Amino acid sequence: MDVLSTLITAGQFFVVITAELILLFVGITFLVGLLQAYIPEERIRRVLAGRREGVGNVLSAGFGALTPFCSCSTIPILLGLLDIGIPFGVCMSFLFASPLLNPVILALLVALVGVVPTAIYAAVTFAAAVVIGWLLGRLGYERYVRDVMVEGRPEPCDCAAGHTVRIRGAFSFAVSLFRQVFPYLLLGAGIGAFIYGFIPEDLIVSLAGPDNPLAIPVAAVIGVPMYIRAETLIPVSAVLLEKGMGIGAVMALIIGGAGASIPEVTLLSAIFERRLVAAFVATILTVAVLAGILFQVLSVI
């Protein structure tokens, strides 16, 4: 295949995957905006404030799965939860679940690997968020939280607003978030198109194929410092999977990159002492590796 044909093939892939991602992203984000309009954050905070650890961890992980997926919003909400006295372990379940289980990432994963693998991913990460949050609370890691002033909390929504106002708000939320994420979607589609057209399958299989025992832990470690959003990483992973990368390595890459990205770890360093930050990163890497192994095992059954 000559260079021109390869460019045409890569360009076609870029157009198709970009269009699919845009439609999927806007639709799911609009639904998330509607959900937040009808179930305001303050109401969820009140529910969590009345719960002890255990049940609170489960509810908090569920709350994290419904929140916006940018760490810029996750960290202020985390601070707000800590500030009103919600148990530390319950707050940590929210922190672990929020970047890994938001509806947009789950929808993109459905498009990437299908419904059943996505359901397994959701179950594994949800259970990990609940158990790890509870465990950190029991181990007393609360003492490693810095004394930070809470400023700039999100304004609670107007619960008396009519349906039209809420729908408009959800649409504005979807458009605003799309504008922020659109460059990352383009970047991911562009990288994926390049890999699709120009990177030989044999190279990817040899480095990260299912027969390489180190592919999963290496992919998990690489995901953390990549400084790349999951919305960018998932279309790239789709191409890597098609080229022969093992499903276990792909899932480890996604979890490592989405769960402990450099921006989020940097923000957490401002409110957590180093020992707690290290525990957070180590936990994400462990979950990424274990989930990757699980997916790899299930793929050959």
* Tokens read off for 66: 């419904």
Separation of alpha carbons 35 and 44, rounded Å: 12
Q: How far apart are CA 68 and CA 78, in angstroms?
A: 12
Closest listed residue to residue 222, CA positions, set 246, 249, 196: 249
Q: Is 148 helix (H, G, I), strand (E, B) or coil?
A: coil
| Element of type H or E holding 3 | helix 3-38
Q: How much is the pLDDT for 257? A: 76
Q: Using only C-alpha atoms, what is the Rg of the chain? A: 20
Sign of CA dihedral 14, 19, 20, 24: positive
For the stretch 55-69, pLDDT in tens is: 889 988 888 887 655
Report, as an integer, the average pLDDT of 285-292: 88
pLDDT, residue 245, reads 79
**Which has the higher per-residue pLDDT, 301 or 283?**
283
The per-residue pLDDT for range 78-121, each reduced to its tens digit, is: 776 777 678 889 889 988 888 788 777 787 778 777 888 889 88
**Residue 62, pLDDT score:** 87
Residue 107 contacts by C-beta under 8 Å, 6 or more apart in sequence? 24, 28
Place of tokens 């180093």: 274
Contact by Cβ (8 Å): 34, 166: yes
Q: What is the mean pLDDT of the chain?
A: 75
Per-residue pLDDT tens over the stretch 232-270: 667 777 777 877 778 888 888 888 877 776 667 776 887
Indicate yes or no: pTM above 0.95. Answer: no
Token pair in block for residue 190: 């562009």
Q: Which two tokens stand for residue 242?
A: 């098609």
Q: What is the pLDDT of residue 207?
A: 65
- The answer to whether 284 and 259 are in contact (CB under 8 A) is yes
Q: What's residue 132's pLDDT?
A: 92
Angstrom distance (rounded) from CA 228 to CA 123 = 24
Tens digits of residue pLDDT in 262-284: 667 776 887 888 899 888 888 88
Place of tokens 């639709």: 27
